[in-house]
Structure 1
Amino acid sequence: MSLYNATTIIRKPWIYLLAMVSIASFTSCEKVIDLNLNTAEKKYVIEANLTNKAGGCVVLLSQTKDFDEDNTFPGISGATITITTNGTTVTPLTETSTPGQYTAPALIGATGNNYELKVTVAGQTFTANSTMAQPVLIDTIFAKDETLFGETRKIVTVVHPDPVGLGNNYRYIQYFNGNKISGNLIRNDDYSDGRITESSLFYFSDDGDEDAPELKSGDHVRVEMLSITPDIYKYWFSLDRSATGGSGQATPANPVTNIKGGALGYFSVHGIDTKTMIVP
C-alpha cells in the first residue's frame, strides 16, 4: 500500500509582471523554484489485521522510499512476528510465498481479548496492543439513487444499530461484482450513539474524479462492516485528512499510528460483518 513518502516536494511558479515603458505592453517571466530533497531515513511500514474470521490474521511488512524513487513497495522478508493473546498464548506468524506477507490462519480474534503484536526485523522491534470490541452486525443494505456533483448514481446504504455508549467506530468496504471499490469510508457514533444508523457509501475513482465503475441494476454488491477501535478510526481519519495534504491541511503528514518503536502503519483488531445483495 503506497501511503507513505519519506520526503515531500514543493514546486511553485512565481509569476512576475514587468511593466514596459512602451505603449502599455507587458512581458511576463516564470521562475521555478526547485527544493533540494535530502535522502530521508527509511521507515518500516506495518499493516497488521486480526479479525473474528478464519484467515483474518495478516501482517504486511514493507518500507518507505524517497520521493524520487518509484512507487512500488516490495515486501520485507525475514522478520519474526508474533501475536500474544492476553499475555499468555503466543502465536507465531509464518511468511507466505508473497514476500513481506505473514499469516496465522488458525488465529481468530475474540471479543474482549487483548492482543499484542511484536515485529522484529533487522535488529529493530516494534509493538502494538489492541482489544477486540463487540462486533456490530449489519441490519440491511440497499441501493438508492443519489445526486452527486449534478450526476445521479446508485449508492449503497448500510443500516445497522449503534450500541449505547460512545466509542463505537466503523469502517465500510464495498465490492462491486467482486472488485473492491476505493475509498476511505469511516464513521464514529459521536452524533448517533444508541440509534439506528444509515451510512451512504459514496465512492470515487483513485484519482478523485467521477469515473469510478457505475453501479447498475443486476450488479452484485458485497459490503463488509468493520467494528474498529478508536485508535484505528483515528488512523484512517488522519490518513484522509493529512497524509495527502488535502482537506485543508497545509502539508502532508503521516497518519497517526498505534505502533510503538518508530514504524508507520497500524495494528487493527476488529470484528467483521458482511451483507450481499443484487442491485434491483
Structure 2
Amino acid sequence: MRLIQTFFVLFALLFFSACEKVIDIELKGSDPLLVIEGVINNRTDTQSVRITSSVPIGESNRFPGVSGATVTVKDQDGITYAFRERAPGIYSSRRMRGIPGRTYSLSILYNRKSYTAQSRMPSQVTIDSIGFQSTTIFNNSRTSLQLIFRDPPQIKNYYRFVLSVNEVKTSSIFVYSDDFTDGKQVTRDLFDVDVDLKSGDKVAVEMHCIDPVIYRYWFGLDQNRSRGGASVTPANPVSNISNGALGYFSAQTQQTEQLYVPFL
C-alpha cells in the first residue's frame, strides 16, 4: 500500500511539472496618438490649443509637444482665426474672443492627417456667492470651498469647476449637470480629500459652462480615475475630435473668483 502511495505522489509531481510552461509576454507599444486640448472662452482675447503626443505604457508621463501643425478655428459666420505656435505644442490666437451661443470649429492639419471638432459655447451662468464649509470626518475637520449659483430654468446646463490653492490647480475633477436642479439655486462643495485648506491659503475657483460632449468627456475621465483598483479596464473618455485623436475642444464661458481662507 505504501509503495502504491509513493508511486502516485511521484507520478503527480512529474505530471504537474511537465505541464508548466514559461510564457514570455511581449508588450508592444502602439503608435503614438495626438492629444489635443483646445479651449475657446469669452473672457480673454487670447485663445489656445495644446497638442502633445501620447507615450507608451511604462514611460514617464511627460507628453512631448507636437510642433509644425497648422491650427485654425472658424466661427459660425465663416471668420477663420489662424493659431501660431508660441512654444513647442502650444498654439494660440491673440485676436479672438468667444461669444456665448455661437458654434466654433477647430481644424488641425499635421503629418498629412486632418483633425476636426466642433463646440457650441453655452450661455453664461454666474456664481452668486462663495465661502467655506467645514466638514468633520472621523473626528478630523476639513475646510472646503462652497459656491452658490442659480441654474437657469428649462435649459439643459452642464458645468465644470477648477479649484486652485495658492495658485496651484488641484487634480480633482468637478463636473455637474442640472438633471435634478433645473431652475433652482445650487450649492456645491468642492471637497478634495487630498487638499487640507489652512488659514491664509489663497483659493480660486473657475466656473465653466460647457456643452454636453465636454461634460461627458470630463465625467468619463473622472470615472476612470475614481475606479482605482477595479478590474474593469478603463476606456478613453468620449472625445469630440475626429480621426482617432484624444482630448477635447471646448467652447466655454468662464468666471474666476478667489478669496483667502479666514484665520480661525
TM range (shorter): 0.7 to 0.9
Q: Is 1:125 aligned to 2:107, yes or no?
A: no
Which of the numbers 185, 191, 213 marks the counterpart of 2:174? Answer: 185
Q: Structure 2 matches for 1:244-263, cutoff 5 A?
A: 246=228, 250-263=232-245
- Is the Cα–Cα contact under 8 Å of residues 58 and 102 in structure 1 kept in the other structure? yes
CA deviation profile, 1:123-169 (whole Å, cap 9, x unmatched): 11000011111011000110021124653111101101101124201
Shift of 1:33: 7.9
Amino acid at match of 2:258: T
Secondary structure of the 1:183 match is coil
Q: Structure 2 matches for 1:161-176, cutoff 5 A?
A: 161-176=150-165
Partners of 1:32 and 1:133 in 2: CA distance: 57
Which of the numbers 193, 197, 204 marks the counterpart of 1:215? Answer: 197
Shift of 1:242: 2.8
- Is the Cα–Cα contact under 8 Å of residues 158 and 210 in structure 2 kept in the other structure? yes
Shift of 1:238: 0.7
Runs of at least 5 residues in structure 1 that lack an aligned partner in the other structure: 1-20, 22-30, 206-211
Amino acid at match of 2:38: A
CA deviation profile, 1:205-250 (whole Å, cap 9, x unmatched): 4xxxxxx3x2122222211100011110000011111367548560
TM-score, structure 2 length as denominator? 0.86
**Larger fraction in helix:** 2
When residues 108 and 148 of structure 1 are mapped into structure 2, their CA distance, relative to the original with a 3 A threshold, is: farther
- Is the Cα–Cα contact under 8 Å of residues 71 and 82 in structure 2 kept in the other structure? yes
Structure number with greater Rg is 2
Which of the numbers 86, 111, 131 marks the counterpart of 1:142? Answer: 131
Partners of 2:176 and 2:225 in 1: CA distance: 18
How many residues of Structure 1 are paired with residues of Structure 2 in the alignment? 243
Shift of 1:279: 1.9
Alignment match, 1:28: none
Partners of 1:247 and 1:234 in 2: CA distance: 22
- Superposition CA RMSD, Å: 2.2
Secondary structure of the 1:93 match is strand
Runs of at least 5 residues in structure 2 that lack an aligned partner in the other structure: 1-8, 10-20
Q: Is 1:237 aligned to 2:225, yes or no?
A: no
Secondary structure of the 2:154 match is coil
Shift of 1:278: 2.1
Q: Structure 2 matches for 1:9-24, cutoff 5 A?
A: none
Alignment match, 2:141: 152
Partners of 1:249 and 1:126 in 2: CA distance: 33
Shift of 1:204: 3.7
TM-score, structure 1 length as denominator? 0.81
Partners of 1:125 and 1:276 in 2: CA distance: 40
Amino acid at match of 2:126: L
Q: Is 1:53 aligned to 2:43, yes or no?
A: yes
- Is the Cα–Cα contact under 8 Å of residues 222 and 274 in structure 1 kept in the other structure? yes
